[in-house]
Structure 1
Amino acid sequence: MISKKLIDLGVLALRQRNSRGTFKPHISLRFRNDGGDLRTFSIDTTRTPGKHPQPDAYLITHAHSDHHGKSAMLSPNAVCSDKTATALEIRHDKKYVGNICGVGEEIEVEGVKVKTFPTEHTAGATAFYWENDVGTRILVTGDVKDASKLPSCDVLITEANYGDPADPTCHFTDDLEGMKCALFEHESVAFGAYEFGKAQRAVELIRGFGYDGAIRMEARTRALTRSMLEDAGELTGFDSEGEDGVFVVAPWDLNKLPWNIKKYVLSCRMDYTYPTIRISDHLDACGLEDMVRKINPEVTLVYHPGGDRPSKFSKHLNSIGIDSISIDQIGNVLSNEFI
């Protein structure tokens, strides 16, 4: 039984309930450190009210809202990368009060040495790795675009945004040539991209394609891009003279731009009004499976996103001989287990 295997590895996966009696987002892990002290790390979740016992760490893998950094950043027990902390402060206009480290560095949390690794999902996106008292290697990835630098582990906690092998939309490759053609074929072109993550990747690609002119962006997107990228080049606002040029704006703001600008959305979703160029910040279904095979865990726990993708990816892993459990099973299967 997979839940028994986790317990044998010295790891308890659990979901906590909030004041309304429903499960908080995502999960927590309980284990013992080298000194035998019980520790709890909560992963990509909202804070526990102050009147209740706090986890030893709120691990924030990156600054997207569905990973709940807006809440966790207000706890002194928060842990994230320096770029994630900066992005959270810009996005939410609040002071990050937790602990930071550079991606690739090590930070000690309550007697636990936690190593960090890049996932390339966003600037500053971080995977966390540590060992418990019995030597079990634990890796939390968050969302992943590039798994090449992630280490092997015994317990893997990962995502399944595009983890349904039966869904054709979960199989894709980035259409870099399509984006390059769109950039240079039109005198004025706009790319729809979320302000954090996709917008910065769009700028990196635009510069990589050889465009060195100004890129027009909304003020907060400019602030994020300048903070995240060292070589973003010239970034300007919409109030600059003229209507020509290259724009990077939120997909829902494309219709606010002048009619003569050619408009695209950078996404793997196909439900937008404007033409879509497939540019993703995630691994597709095959990439996720290859990542798990490479990391070679004894147990894989799939915790993100909402909906049935975690369950579908977990079932797929089990079908190919990789022991896995999904977040929807945790509250029912593991909440009454103890180390």
Structure 2
Amino acid sequence: MLSVISSEIGVISKKLIDLGVLALRQRNSRGNFKPHVSIRFRNNAGELRTFSIDTTRSPGKQPQPDAYLITHAHSDHHGKSAMLSPRAVCTDKTATALEIRHDRKYVGSMCRLGDEIEIEGVRVKTYPTAHTAGAAAFYWENDVGTRILVTGDVKNASKLPPCDVLITEANYGDPEDPSCHFADDLESMKCALFESGPVAFGAYEFGKAQRAVELMRGFGYEGAIRMEARTRALTRSMLEDAGELAGIDSRGEDEVFVVAPWDLDKLPRNVKKYVLSCRADYPYPIIKISDHLDACGLEDMVRKLTPEVTLVYHPGGHRPSKFSKHLNSIGIDSISIDQIGNVLSNEFI
């Protein structure tokens, strides 16, 4: 069975190379694989280019990629490291979020979401994924016309273009796991918001907190939303119509709080507490609000984009492999990040 699987991986790897694309994992100074993946290809002038995707910087004395593509500012996409390289590329909102979150100056290139940027002779277009404010998919073509799309994490794939090589995520990509099948429970959040008395929603400071504010304003809530200072700064920078945001210290009758899930227990007992998540390991009631596509949504996205090969590169753990195996089982050629270092060499054939 193992030899059959290896043969299938080899066929798909050759298919990638025939498309003029080499996927590889680079190593750090200790010889370990760096996070996520790099893509090597030739531009229209026939020059070899390497784009590293959502990964840490290489030390200055080591060979550098032509670009560190940062899809968004969540820590598991390693912008904290990559933002210090002049080769970093992201949207202006992602750059702002990185600076606020990490108190460092972003030194790379940036563009507005939806714009193009030229990187070493490669025209790269950005598309929204609706995962966080400023989150971008990157799209470009190589010298043989292969259309390459890197999505990062995705909440809404409706604006993504068709491609030949898709490089995507599998946060909820295990079709056999019930927790990977969900729909946003907007009605429960709305009911909780307008219950009498103070209410708090547990949400990560970047991404989920801003979505919570957007939803509450969309539900018609016009009052102050209380947050910690950095969450307020992120929300004001990311949203044009965030409304009134206030500090966490006031204690009124019908106040609304958005705090990190682990800070809910710091609020008074009379505050009704909920966590906006699809995870079930919190000690408070869960309202299912996700910033990702579920397993069915991810499959639908891949079918819509019609790639010849799909590379699943995120997150850590077994989910990329699970989703990749599922795609292969339904006739969509796919490999996962755990197979790259074992099969593909670092030399472009």
Range class of TM-score, shorter chain = over 0.9
Deviations 1:120-142 (A, max 9, x none): 00000000000000000000000
Judge conservation of contact 2:198–2:270 (CA < 8 Å) in 1.
Answer: yes
Percent identity (aligned): 86
* Contact kept? 1:15, 1:335, Cα under 8 Å: no
TM-score scaled to structure 2, two decimals? Answer: 0.96
Aligned to 2:161: 151
> Is residue 86 from structure 1 mapped to residue 92 from structure 2 by the alignment?
no
Residue aligning to 1:218: 228
> 160, 170, 173: which one pairs with 1:160?
170
Q: Which amino acid aligns with 1:123?
A: A
Post-superposition offset of 1:239? 2.4
Distance in 2 of aligned mates of 1:86 and 1:136: 32
Partner residue of 2:31?
A: 21
Partner of 1:121: 131
Match of 1:11 among 21, 41, 56: 21
Question: Counterpart of 1:203?
Answer: 213
After TM superposition, the score normalised by the length of structure 1 is 0.99
- In the other structure, the counterpart of 1:277 is 287
Distance 2:251 2:192 in 1: 23
Q: How does 1:1-339 map to 2 (within 5 A)?
A: 1-240=11-250, 242=252, 244-339=254-349
Looking at structure 2, the residues matched to 48 and 177 of structure 1 have their Cα atoms a distance apart, in angstroms, of 46
Any gaps of 5 or more consecutive residues in structure 1?
Answer: none
CA contact (8 A) 1:13 1:30 kept: yes
The one-letter code matched in structure 2 to 1:37 is: E
Structure 1 residue 337 displacement after superposition: 4.9
The one-letter amino acid of 1:146's match is N
Checking the alignment, whether the CA contact within 8 Å between 2:198 and 2:254 is kept in structure 1 is yes
How far apart, CA to CA, are the structure 2 residues paired with 1:69 and 1:285? 26
> Is 1:73–1:88's contact at 8 Å kept on the other side of the alignment?
yes
> Post-superposition shift, 1:117?
0.1
The unaligned stretches of length 5 or more in structure 2 are 1-10
Aligned length: 339
Matches of 1:135 and 1:269 in 2, distance apart?
Answer: 41
CA RMSD of aligned residues (A): 0.8
Q: How far apart are 1:187 and its partner, in Å?
A: 1.6
Superposed displacement of residue 68, structure 1: 0.1
Amino acid at match of 1:338: F
How far apart, CA to CA, are the structure 1 residues paired with 2:247 and 2:345? 50
* Aligned twin of 2:8: none
SS of 1:122's equivalent in the other structure is: coil
* Residue pair 1:244, 1:261 contacting (<8 A) in 2 also: no
